[in-house]
Amino acid sequence: MKKVAIDKNIFRANDIRGAQEDYVKSLNIEKGSLLSKSAHGAVINAETAYVIGRSVADLFAPKKVVIGHDTRLTSPELYDAAIEGLIEGGVDVTMIGISTSDLLYFAVGNYKYSMGMMITGSHTIKYLNGIKICRLTDKTVTPIYQGHGMEELKEYLLAQKFKQVEKKGTVCEKNCYLDYAEHILKIFPEYNKFKFHKIVLDAANGTAGVVYKNIFDRLNIKAIELNFNPDGNFPAHDPDPAIFEN
């Protein structure tokens, strides 16, 4: 396999984050500038995702990995490529499709997967995307982040000296929505006694409308659903809730 060029700036403190190549080029970023060192100036694509999946397989040697993705337009291709890297590294992969990061963490802990990978740009603009990685250690789900595996992963990604694998991993699908809803509702055992409320819910065309609907439908509320249709263009507004206009 030809070595893939990896921008070192995709490695952030808490996850891996970058942007679409066309978007990066459109910014005409000055070399050495602060922007060039940010996720806005670092390209992440299918080749990158494949190398990440392959590196996770080699470095951490997980037996089973569960993987999900958000609704961004680039998420499906990153998702597919990461899965390919994992199975070619001999890892059995479970695909849970459209997910939220908390649902993925739940899946790792509840079903006892070795690790989890979430393809998501979180609350950033639509041109950015990334990968959050976590693992199950002593019955606790913990992220891979700076000081806890990220540096080692970065080193392995850049070297790309992959091990020979005798047998590829397998792939299957799983729907976690109902199990996750039950898990959340058990936290509030008297949820059906809550006072009735009419609530406006804005899912911002992201994953929340898909994942949490099974919870909303069981609460004593009249839900007025806004932007529940998943759309990676985020036509209503950007997904960042910290910005007042959103």
Q: What is the pLDDT of residues 13-42, one digit of tens each?
A: 999 999 999 999 999 999 889 999 999 999
Confidence of residue 193 (pLDDT cuts 50, 70, 90): confident
Confidence of residue 186 (pLDDT cuts 50, 70, 90): very high
Structure tokens at 52: 């990440």
Mean of pLDDT values over 117-135 = 96
Give the chain's length.
246
Buried (b) or exposed (e) across 172-195, using 16+ Cβ within 10 A? eeeebbebbbeebeeeeeeeeeee
Q: Is the pLDDT of residue 91 over 90?
A: yes
Confidence of residue 140 (pLDDT cuts 50, 70, 90): very high
Mean of pLDDT values over 63-85 = 98
Give the residue with greater pLDDT, 189 vs 118.
118
What residues contact 172, with CB distance under 8 A and at least 6 apart? 92, 93, 94, 95
Q: At residue 77, what are phi and psi to the nearest 5 degrees?
A: -70, -35
To 10 degrees, what angle do helices 75-88 and 46-60 make?
A: 40
pLDDT at 241: 81
Confidence of residue 56 (pLDDT cuts 50, 70, 90): very high
What residues contact 221, with CB distance under 8 A and at least 6 apart? 194, 196, 197, 198, 199
The secondary element (H helix, E strand) that includes residue 244 is: none
Q: At residue 27, what are phi and psi to the nearest 5 degrees?
A: -80, -15
Q: Please count the CA atoms within 13 angstroms of the CA of 177 that sit on its side-chain side.
A: 16
Mean of pLDDT values over 93-110 = 97
Query: What percent of the chain is modeled with pLDDT above 90?
Result: 91
What residues contact 91, with CB distance under 8 A and at least 6 apart? 56, 57, 62, 63, 64, 65, 169
Q: Is the pLDDT of residue 12 over 80?
A: yes
Q: Is the pLDDT of residue 1 over 80?
A: no
The 10s digit of each residue's pLDDT in 162-182 is 999 999 999 999 999 999 999
Mean pLDDT, the chain, whole residue set: 95
Q: Is the CB of residue 108 less than 8 Å from the CB of residue 66?
A: yes
pLDDT at 37: 92
pLDDT at 97: 97
Mean of pLDDT values over 175-190 = 95
What residues contact 161, with CB distance under 8 A and at least 6 apart? none
Mean of pLDDT values over 147-160 = 96
pLDDT at 116: 98
